[in-house]
Chains A and B, each alone.
Chain A
Amino acid sequence: MSALGELRRIKGTSAPKSRKQNTAAFLFLLPWFIGLALITVGPMAASFALSFTRYNLLSPPRFIGIENYLRMLQDERLHTALAVTFQYVFISVPLQLGLALALAILLDRGLRGLSLYRSAFYLPSLLGASVAIAILWRQLFGVDGLVNVVLGWFGIEGQGWISNPETALGTLMILNVWTFGAPMVIFLAGLRQIPVMYYEAASVDGANRWQQFRRITLPMLTPIIFFNLILQLIGAFQSFTQAFVVSGGTGGPVDSTLFYTLYLYQQGFANLNMGYASAMAWLLLVIVAALTAINFWASKYWVFYDDQD
């Protein structure tokens, strides 16, 4: 809190409480409102309605009450999918964000060739969803993959990391961490957003580099850290492509990479059970919304906004 207090002190003034600006806000929000009304709400509401139906896409939906929701209680694969997804989210998101933040600070400034390094670290995230990823990953973590070759140099006998139920999810976490370039870019932009005058004022006060980092960089970056956290959280819960391409759409081996959204997709499009898939989607929404709400609540204690009073 002392860092925040200091920033407020540096900032000096505080903005006056403003009146409601409904008209201006409405005009600024108009495109979004139109999109919300025409494109977002209809399909969302439809998917909610479909969650109470049996709907195979080929024939009209048939109302079945809360049967889909009751079925979720019994569905063991769904429970597996939840467990897999929670593990994935809670391990890979912090790892990825930590690495992204560290590299962003390292690559911020003060070194020759930074733009090349940034591009190199960013390139993997560009590969994104391509089929090539699956093949590349098998080349790395397969039975005859590079990882095992390297382990072999040290006399360690490797294994099929990607198709062993114990380690398959781990390789997908590494895959996610590997694409840390995306949050890194946002951190880089955030670092450059910090007004120089704060550093100036701090150095006048005789703060050293570490103190500047602790008292200025970190607190000023918290809104961006917070954004990345929320973004990665929502994104990780909806992770689909990586597991889809690496496991060939099965979520295997032995359902060890059966991400929630992958199972939802299997239900909706392979089993043509779109009613059930919709119910699953709304359960996911409730889970993600609850976690997001908790984060927003917790953010009051650690996120510093420059426009707060």
Chain B
Amino acid sequence: MRGNTRRRIGVVAAMGAATMLALTACAGNAAAPTDEAPQLELSDEPVTLSFTWWGNDTRHAITEELIAAFEAEHPNITIEPQYTDWAGYWDKLSTSVAAGDIPDIIQMDEKQLSTYAANGVLMDLGGLSSVLSTEDYPEAVLGTGALDGTQYGVPVGINSYTIIANQDLLDQYGVDLPDDETWTWDDFIATAQEVAEASGGAVSGTQSWGFEDGGLNNWLRQHDSALYDADGEIAASEEDLAGWWEFLLDATKDGATPDPAATIERESGGLAESFTATNQSAFGPWWSNQVQALRDASGQDLVALRVPTSKGASDGWAYYKPSMFWSASAKTEHPAEVATFLDFLANSEEAADLLLAERGVPANEKIRDYITPKLDEVNQTVVGFLDDLAPQVGDAPAATPPGGGVIEAIIDQHTQQVLFGEMTPDEAAASFLEQLQQALEDAAV
């Protein structure tokens, strides 16, 4: 019996070892970088590339049209689409990388780019430059897809953080739209309070924020700080972080934002159930690429305003955030075809005609100029907003270091603690730094 058991354990161990071996062999281990750029020769043989993205059904339909247009031009290339929603996307991508099944073309997010790049999953797109041109991209924007000088992603669209104001609600309660060129955070809160009081509590002044990194980034930059430094270390100070949560908490106490329970409830519901989308809040912080979806949902006149400033903030705190990147697998067998497809996505007017602004206002300036007249009214306004902002835009924030992808979850968690009074802003700042540091250390390769 005992020998029997030992033999069983032996078998179990062997099975486990075999699977472990597979894991070890398959993971996207950093391939030794080769100095010479790969020879980019298009094959005459049929080539199949896999292409993965996240999004909703509108995006899936547009992207499949794109694929069809590309395949019509390149009959020997077949693009296999793989799509999911945002949450499922990362589970699936990391699992397939673990098994070595990396899709050839990957839609990548800024907060995940460095994590995947540092683990050798993504290709150095510089090696594709003979086919994939990036000359129509402004240096600063292109730089957001590069880490230590290596280009891992081509930025697709650009966004900016914005305060969305509901003009109809403001009119209804007789509150003037503030001047967003000069307004400060205090003006913002005062106006929000005014609306909340005028409506007798029927609508809230502003939707709360503190659930993603956009608001925090803006705040830190207005305080001459940043989330990360160029070395990938955390640069934010405990003091600035505490100040941010303090301000958020005061806004709630003063009645400018809804009570915490309502805020958290809407937050877990996503865009469609938000106060802004349901016309229950005069203001709300959003990204500029969400204006269209918000307008569709609310049916009212929504205006994108600049983020208020902190007193004494120096210029250049505003920034363009890349909505997403086109990246490629470091292990693809068909770099030439991948480059051809990426070039089609990034630089062709044909693709732009289909994409329009669905993945954000194009980061490629030539394409942006080409497509702007073809956009609908709402998106033209967004382009105008981004253009007007240009003088205030400073350097892009330092790239999110590997492991920083969880920052939204950490911010969200601490904002909840602060709003419900489980932590003081000071405690939240300390705990935030500790958890973010832990996440970065966990991700260190």
Contact = CB atoms under 8 A, between A and B. Distances in A.
Nearest to A53: B20
B417 A254 contact: yes
Interface string A134-170: 1100100011000000000000000110111100000
Given A37-B11, A253-B420, A48 B16 contact: yes
A273 interface: yes
Contact of B267 (A49, A143, A248): A248
A254 B415 CA distance: 9
A246 interface: yes
A35 to B, nearest CB: 12
B268 A163 contact: yes
Interface stretch (B26-34, B215-223, B229-237): B26-34
A255 B23 contact: no
B37 interface: no
A46 B439 CA distance: 24
B261 A159 contact: yes
Interface string B418-445: 0010100000000000000001001101
Interface in B399-420: 403, 405-406, 409, 412-413, 416-417, 420
A302 to B, nearest CB: 31
Contacts of B91: 269
Given A249-B87, A270-B409, 14 more contacts: A42-B19, A43-B19, A58-B27, A61-B24, A159-B261, A163-B260, A163-B262, A163-B265, A165-B422, A252-B413, A253-B264, A269-B90, A271-B403, A271-B406
B115 A272 contact: yes
Contact of B16 (A45, A55, A61): A45
B97 A57 contact: yes
Given A248-B267, A255-B413, A58 B115 contact: yes
Contacts of B268: 134, 138, 163, 246-248, 250, 252
A49 B94 contact: no
B332 interface: no
B261 A59 contact: no
Interface stretch (B116-124, B167-175, B385-393): B116-124
Contacts of A266: 406, 409
A42 B406 CA distance: 30
Contact of A135 (B15, B262, B269, B412): B269
Contacts of B119: 56, 58-59
Nearest to A251: B413
B417 A270 contact: no
B264 A49 contact: no
Interface string B94-109: 1101100000000000
Interface in A246-280: 246-250, 252-255, 266, 269-273, 276
Contacts of A45: 12-13, 15-17, 19
B18 interface: yes
11 contacts: A57-B98, A59-B27, A61-B23, A61-B24, A138-B273, A143-B265, A247-B268, A250-B416, A254-B422, A269-B94, A270-B406
B406 A250 contact: no
Interface residues of A, number: 45
A60 B16 contact: no
Residue of B16, B29, B97 contacting most chain A CB atoms (<10 Å): B16
B3 interface: no
A42 B18 contact: yes
A46 B19 contact: yes
B445 A59 contact: yes
Contacts of B149: none
Contact of B269 (A41, A138, A269): A138
Ranked nearest first, the 9 interchain pairs of A and B with the lowest CB-CB distance are A45-B16, A160-B261, A248-B268, A58-B119, A46-B19, A163-B265, A163-B264, A42-B15, A60-B24
A215 interface: no
Contacts of A142: 265
A138 B268 CA distance: 10
B75 interface: no
Residue of B87, B121, B268 contacting most chain A CB atoms (<10 Å): B268
B439 A271 contact: yes
B312 interface: no
B362 to A, nearest CB: 30
Contacts of A236: none
A143 B261 CA distance: 8
Contact of B120 (A44, A59, A165, A255): A59
Contacts of A253: 260-261, 264, 416, 420
A220 interface: no
B27 A272 contact: no
Interface in B1-59: 11-13, 15-20, 23-25, 27-30
A255 B410 CA distance: 11
Residue of A58, A164, A252 contacting most chain B CB atoms (<10 Å): A58
B13 A60 contact: no
A250 B443 contact: no
Contacts of A54: 442
Interface string A268-301: 0111110010000000000000000000000000
Contact of B265 (A46, A56, A162, A254): A162
Contact of A58 (B12, B94, B406): B94
Contact of B442 (A49, A165, A273): A273
B270 interface: yes
Contact of B409 (A59, A250, A272): A250
